[in-house]
Chains A and B, each alone.
Chain A
């Protein structure tokens, strides 16, 4: 009888432990969601015991989930704000920032617009609604149609802070759910302009998607326009709207989370970063990651 009870308990224990497989929840940036899903799939292929769920929703949503202690990792295309750090601390969360790739946030226009470049001040004025016709920036006489992200998006915040001088977006800007929706909108409308993470610009063959044009960006009217399509321009910071792609964990990553992030930063992971159209981690960002124990 005793043996039966012990056997039953062992079976029950084994069953429960199977269900208790640690599920790593990752949430946040829509710019990063496809990339991190690719990374997670490859990692799980190599580690059959690992279970990782990646969802989007925007950087703000992911960071809020980390602050609430409901996810292991937050994906973010912008840095955490002071208020978010304070809220994290209030909840006993110590955010650790990790850079897993670099993005050249790209300004794209409808394919028919005969322009190759804009300056940062011009782009800012366009998205603030101060310039509303292409003829005012050297283009045809045609109304400008604006496409951007929603306020919970890190890309929305990053663009507002770095390109628009932290001023308000034009109320006429169409606020789209994700990068892919912005591209679709711009492809289907003449005279449109928007911004997307560089990883969303390419088709399966690595060519820029048809129907859109990626503009070069000049820091100001006296500077030379720079393309985000050249890797060196972005990772060197020569391209004005380059930014790190971030992940945040509560404290220094440990266990499977640490192993997964180490995979992301390793040769295989960084190749996946490049395959997804983004650029690998270099220089100062590598040093920063080392401080996070990676």
Chain B
């Protein structure tokens, strides 16, 4: 597989460098790399304290080809180091492989393939520091940043925009596992330049008795045992030349993926119980500012996440014990850092992440990092 990917990458490079192309064709190779050195100064898990490493957190290798001004293909490889101590080597896999067809419907673009999703694209762009941390819904795996399916994105009159997706719902790295599809819809308004107000909702039905769904359970997704899931969120943002600020709130319901009023038998098996919905919610505030010091920006964020809002609902039963209840399981996350940009596309970002758990007696996680972000772009090098 790796050899195939390497051969494919080499073919693409040779194709681009050979200058093959129509006079109106524009090809480019671009991408980003972000890596960091991190040090766990404090951690709620004792074994994690003092852990430190250099790590590649993401490597994107993207090839884009504008077949015509309205038709583009994108192929993007994605790679990152596995978790600390893993024996898994750095392996590239496909993040994007799609056809973008603009103006098939006026003022709209159609996406076919493994493409970006609409759950948090706008908030991620406003946050602008994906290299430091994913936005709250992405970080907590409430939706994937890319998926396989169909998307339609456009605007009606310049300030009402929308984006519909019909996707597998399994993310970009795993195949479909059931007969149902995830439907997502984002609607956002930009009544004045630099201001955005967005509402988003997605839904996917699931059937635990469905054989295909049963296979999907092996992926250990928390909603796999439920009958459906639904996310909704609100996002508001202000984007000015010298600063950006944003806030988002989301809520998720995993229908019948939890249990309540459970009894445990003498032989430590699950007795009577009622099925229950598991609700999750969270909010995030973030901002970044260009400072008066040349080439220096600062950024900060606060997240609050509650993975189960009901303390009487449990999400797991193992070895005779119920766990995953909503009691004291929330956490707050503070992120702050400085962005030094010595040259366009090169960023050095010392930053700190402080995670504060609600559980009594739990210690905070404090991680300090030096994150490096590099953006590269071959430009439009063919036929121009």
Contacts and interface: CB of A to CB of B under 8 A. Distances in A.
Interface of A: 67-70, 85-87, 89-95, 150-152, 167-169, 171, 175
Contacts of A89: 128, 241, 244, 290
A263 B116 CA distance: 49
Contacts of B295: 69, 92
Contacts of B341: 69, 91-92
Contacts of B242: 94
Given A89-B290, A92-B297, A94-B241, A168 B24 contact: yes
B344 interface: yes
A249 to B, nearest CB: 13
Contact of B344 (A70, A150, A151, A171): A70
B384 A95 contact: no
B296 A92 contact: yes
Interface in B153-185: none
Nearest to B69: A168
Interface of B: 22-24, 26, 68-69, 125, 128, 241-242, 244, 290-291, 294-297, 339, 341, 343-345, 380, 384
16 contacts: A68-B343, A69-B295, A69-B341, A69-B344, A70-B343, A86-B125, A89-B128, A89-B244, A92-B290, A92-B295, A92-B296, A92-B297, A94-B241, A94-B242, A168-B69, A171-B24
Contacts of B23: 171
B34 to A, nearest CB: 13
A95 B380 contact: no
B378 to A, nearest CB: 13
A94 B296 CA distance: 12
Nearest to B25: A171
A277 to B, nearest CB: 28
B184 to A, nearest CB: 24
Contacts of A87: 344
B322 to A, nearest CB: 47
A294 to B, nearest CB: 17
A250 B242 CA distance: 11
Contact of A167 (B26, B69, B241): B69
Contacts of B296: 92
A141 to B, nearest CB: 27
